[in-house]
Structure 1
């Protein structure tokens, strides 16, 4: 059975895309810890990050780095934090979270954003992207 993220990759579930290439996709988390919370995923459904082939793991990190740089240019923050938890969806994903305090990494926190705010933010991050 396809994961939620595979359905996003296939276009069966809508998302706020930030970046995409032939192997990877980055989109805004719809239940963000803070404004600008992004998920970076391989398009290939692999449950755990450590199950990725070495080359795909390295490419995912390169892609994630590019998204992080664009995110930091877009959202005011002290730095962008990265987390790989993997319990919510059994599909490798890297969380990029704009940080101003350690509480921003608390996954029990969520901010509300309108659909227009999500769209505008995704477009702004994408415009700062250098892949």
Structure 2
């Protein structure tokens, strides 16, 4: 059975895409830790990050760095935090979160964002990629 991320990538479910290429996509998460919270997801459905082929892992890191710079422009912050957790969806995904304090990073008790807020955040990040 396809993961929820595969279904979004294939267009079966809606997603607010920030960036995509032949190997991965970046989408807004439905339950952001902070505005601008993005997920970088390989198109290939791999459950554990340590099973990623080295080339794909390097590509995800390069894309994450590019997006982190854009996030800093679109959502001014002290840093962009990165997490790879993997318990909630069995498909590797890198969380990128604009943060100013350690308490900005949390994975539980998050509210679902409004679609218009996600669309606005995605547009701001895409504009900052230019």
- Measure, in 2, the Cα distance between the counterparts of 1:121 and 1:82: 18
Q: Please, what is the CA RMSD of the aligned residues?
A: 1.2
Q: State the SS of the aligned residue for 1:128.
A: helix
Which stretch shifts more, 121-130 or 74-83? 121-130
Count matched residues.
130
1:11-36 deviation per Cα after TM superposition (whole angstroms, max 9, x unaligned): 11101111111111001110011111
Q: Which residue does 1:76 correspond to in 2?
A: 76
**Residues 76-110 of structure 1 deviation map (CA, whole Å, 9 limit, x = unaligned):** 21110000011000001000011111111111242
Q: In structure 2, how many angstroms separate the alpha carbons of the residues matched to 1:51 and 1:112?
A: 30
TM-score of the pair, normalised by structure 1: 0.93
Structure 1 spans left out of the alignment, 5+ residues? none
Q: Which aligned segments of 4 or more residues in structure 1 are displaced greater than 4 angstroms?
A: none
Deviations 1:36-55 (A, max 9, x none): 11100101101111101111
Paired position in structure 2 for 1:123? 123
